[in-house]
Structure 1
Amino acid sequence: MSQTYGGDDTPADRTVTARGLVLYTRRRPGNTEPPLLLIHGLGGSMDSWKPLLANLPGRDVIMIDTPGMGRSELPRRPLPIHGVADVLAAALTELGVDRVDVLGYSHGGTVAQEFVHRHPRRVRRLILTATVAGVPWLPPRPRSTLALLSTRRYRDRAAAARDIPLLAGGRTARDAGTLAAVLADREANPPGKKGYRYLQAAVIGWSSHPWLHRLRCRTLVLQGSDDPVVRTFNGRLLAGRIHGARLEVLGGAGHLMLFDEPERLGRLISDFLSAP
């Protein structure tokens, strides 16, 4: 269902056609400028952001299901990372939004880097969370890599209970209640297998190292010290390549820190975006 955005702070969904693809978008109006664009990770959707949204009160937020994820249309063939970034930029144009702050999480962080690189005048500030600059990088440990390649965790509760702690680390791996909440969310919003594979293919050989030093927007890099997928070295490397970037390594936080520690992350994000 498509609808126009309302005048209150109730989130409203809208479909747009961007570069020939039908995308689902959601905007939660707020009293901040510019709006914050959230770019989800591999297997995610705009429904994934609920825990973080509750901890960004009053902020104008735009969420878009990337091509092949959530309810957005699957492209005919895999898009490169820069292609995904261009589709999101086109979607913002259809929504009448010219300039944004951008938060990219995990795989979405690679898209966010390309977005800023290709559309620098459209970005005020950038937040890169649990993500990498591509090759060369320090890969996950072997068990985590095997779990990441599989999609069984989205459809098999036993596989999810086994694999998600290997991928998440942090609070999700330590606390049974947090893990149970993550499992329930994954079961309610499983990704399509083909769309998942398309996004996996997009990052093969991808790298922002050749141009990362040319980014000039104010940047915050958020890295968990207990992230099995994006190990701490990668966050340090990423921040070190961006001129003037600020790095925050959160002790004990894992790969799902935006979702299993949203209060902690919400404060950091709000302070960064609101600072003069």
Structure 2
Amino acid sequence: MSPPLRLSAATKTGQLSVLRWGAGEPLVLLHPLASAGELWQPVADRLAGHAVYAPDLRGHGFSSWDGEPFAIADMADDLAQAMDTLALPTVNLLGMSMGGSVAVTFAGMYPDRVRSLILADATAWYGADAPEVWAERARKAKAVPRADQIPFQLDRWFSPQFADTPEAKRAADIFLKQNSDAHAAACIAMGAMDSRPLLSSITAPTLIMVGEHDYATPPEMSAELHENIAGSTLRILPGLRHMTFIEQPELADVVAREAL
């Protein structure tokens, strides 16, 4: 696939920077916390025949942030406004980790705008202690030098045999480039999120995928999504942890075959 174009899409609070590959039926890919749209390159390469859009979410990558607190629902609104700017009334939507939380929230808020929904290593709610747990994550995002956070992140993201690969290093390099204050603000948003009431509003055919050994969003969280999204399908991915699509980009072939 050719190198992506970088587009700018206006939102009510600024702009989202969006990478676009290819042409065809639109598929939007939403990245994890403290990452950016460029993370999706190996997945986009396997999705010829689709117009693949990978936005940098608020405060991430090249997208703007006004410095104010925000919620996961605000990031879903950002996506809706960016889709309006890009003349995309409806899309197929794939989100991983935080991107999955934004995707499930978007699909519940804007059910008529989602053709199909793929949720990878995601949740609608992190539990009753989430505000405190994520507040501590936010504190560390700002207080700990970014390079010193990498061992913790790699252990969560990838299986041990993958953590030393060039692709794992590329994911870490993207993490290092992110703004620590925006990272912290997104942590607070994750801790406050409870999108469970939206799950019954999702009407798109939904495929839920999770790593067998994902301890950031364990399979039990995906099972809860599956139980509450009507007609959804759940797949447990053997041997994988949290960034399933980066460790196994060939999962894009499964999505193309089963969900698009």
Normalising to structure 1: TM-score of the pair? 0.84
Contact 2:4–2:20, Cα closer than 8 Å, also in 1: yes
In structure 1, distance between residues paired with 2:154 and 2:172: 13
In structure 2, distance between residues paired with 1:50 and 1:154: 26
Asked whether 1:64 is paired with 2:55, we answer yes
RMSD over aligned Cα atoms: 2.6
SS at match of 2:188: helix
Give the letter for the 1:102 counterpart: L
Identity %, equivalent residues: 25
In structure 2, distance between residues paired with 1:236 and 1:269: 19
SS at match of 2:116: strand
After TM superposition, give the deviation of residue 136 of structure 1 in Å.
Answer: 3.4
Asked whether 1:47 is paired with 2:33, we answer no
After TM superposition, give the deviation of residue 176 of structure 1 in Å.
Answer: 5.1
In structure 2, distance between residues paired with 1:254 and 1:167: 7
In structure 1, distance between residues paired with 2:205 and 2:128: 23
Q: Deviations over 1:6-39 (max 9, x none)?
A: xx955211112211312211211223x2x00111
Indicate which of 4, 15, 21 corresponds to 1:22: 15
In structure 2, distance between residues paired with 1:175 and 1:186: 12
Change (3 A) 1:175 1:72: closer
SS at match of 1:198: helix
Give the letter for the 1:186 counterpart: A
In structure 2, distance between residues paired with 1:202 and 1:112: 14
In structure 2, distance between residues paired with 1:40 and 1:176: 19
In structure 1, distance between residues paired with 2:72 and 2:172: 24
Question: After the TM superposition, which of the residue ranges 119-128 and 9-18 deviates more from structure 2?
Answer: 9-18
Q: 5 Å matches for 1:1-276?
A: 10-31=3-24, 33=25, 35-136=26-127, 150-151=140-141, 155-156=146-147, 159-160=149-150, 162-170=151-159, 173-175=160-162, 177-178=164-165, 180-188=166-174, 190-263=177-250, 265-274=251-260
Give the letter for the 1:245 counterpart: S
Contact 1:153–1:164, Cα closer than 8 Å, also in 2: no
SS at match of 2:191: coil
SS at match of 1:24: strand
Contact 2:13–2:65, Cα closer than 8 Å, also in 1: no
Unmatched segments (≥5 aa) in structure 1? 1-7
Change (3 A) 1:213 1:131: same
Change (3 A) 1:83 1:250: same
In structure 2, distance between residues paired with 1:147 and 1:269: 31
Give the letter for the 2:180 counterpart: K
Change (3 A) 1:63 1:176: closer
Give the letter for the 2:12 counterpart: R
Larger C-alpha radius of gyration, 1 or 2?
Answer: 1
Give the letter for the 1:204 counterpart: G
Contact 2:39–2:174, Cα closer than 8 Å, also in 1: no
In structure 2, distance between residues paired with 1:148 and 1:56: 34
Give the letter for the 1:21 counterpart: G
In structure 2, distance between residues paired with 1:111 and 1:87: 10
Question: After the TM superposition, which of the residue ranges 187-196 and 243-252 deviates more from structure 2?
Answer: 187-196
In structure 2, distance between residues paired with 1:148 and 1:169: 22
Change (3 A) 1:71 1:225: same
After TM superposition, give the deviation of residue 92 of structure 1 in Å.
Answer: 0.9
SS at match of 2:20: strand
Contact 1:14–1:26, Cα closer than 8 Å, also in 2: yes
Contact 1:30–1:60, Cα closer than 8 Å, also in 2: yes
In the alignment of these two chains, the number of paired residues is 256
SS at match of 2:8: strand
